Structures are given as structure tokens and as C-alpha cells.
Amino acid sequence: MNVFRYFLGAFLAVLLIYTAIVVLNHGANLLPVFFGDMARMGWAGQFNLDFAGFLLLSGIWTVWRNGFTPAAWGLGILALFFGMLFLTIYLLFLISRERGDLKRILLGPARAS
């Protein structure tokens, strides 16, 4: 579990730095670029569509794991729009709260019991 935590922490740091540089150089105008690439039907669009599937899966898992409560929907929306930025922080939080119990981390406390 320590290797996984180190990976999440390192990836979060790299992602934050990279994102800051991109925003400084290009602004925070992501959505037109993201969907524009898809509309052009090229490899960048294919990658973005594939990535959108992972974002949706992350959001659905987050909502399901937390029992479809209003708070779960809020977390799911964060997962959908913030991707790995959200997921690294959320998984580090869950690892700490669930004391590394992978079953509780993945399924949630109610399903893991």
C-alpha cells in the first residue's frame, strides 16, 4: 500500500505542476479544446473520448461506492470534472481513513462488511 500511496502523491505533485504551467501558458479554456479535438475525429479526439470514458467510470464508481447519497453525487461530479486531480486526493484520503483495507477502499464500508 505504501508504493501505491507514494505513486498517488508523486503523480498528484506532477499533475499540479503540469496543470499550473498549462493554465499559465494557455488559460483555463479546456472544454472547447477537449470537445473540439473530438469533433475533428482525429487521434487526439479518440484519446479524449477514451479519457472521457475513464472520467465517467470514476464518477460512477465514486457515486456507487458512497451509496448514491447527495454527498456521493457531489463527489461523483468532482470525479467527473477533476479526474486524477480529484481521484489521487480521494484515494489518499480513503487509504488513510480505511487504514489501507482495500476491500473497504474499493467497496465502501457498507458493502465491505
> What is the tens place of the pLDDT at every residue in 29-78?
888 999 999 999 999 999 999 999 999 999 999 999 999 999 999 999 99
Over residues 86-112, the pLDDT tens digits come to: 999 999 999 999 999 999 999 999 898
Report the percent of the chain where pLDDT is more than 90: 89
Please tell me the total count of domains within the chain.
1
User: What does pTM read for this prediction?
Assistant: 0.89
Task: Give domain status of residue 108, yes or no.
Answer: no
Task: Give domain status of residue 26, yes or no.
Answer: yes
Instruction: Please compute, for residue 41, the number of CA atoms within 13 A of its CA located in the half-sphere on the CB side.
Output: 0
Task: Give domain status of residue 112, yes or no.
Answer: no
Task: Give domain status of residue 95, yes or no.
Answer: yes
Q: Is the pLDDT of residue 1 over 90?
A: no
Counting every residue written for the chain, the total comes to 113
Domain that holds residue 54: 2-102
Task: Give domain status of residue 25, yes or no.
Answer: yes
Mean pLDDT of the chain: 95
For residue 85, CA distances in Å to 40, 79, 90 come to: 27, 8, 9
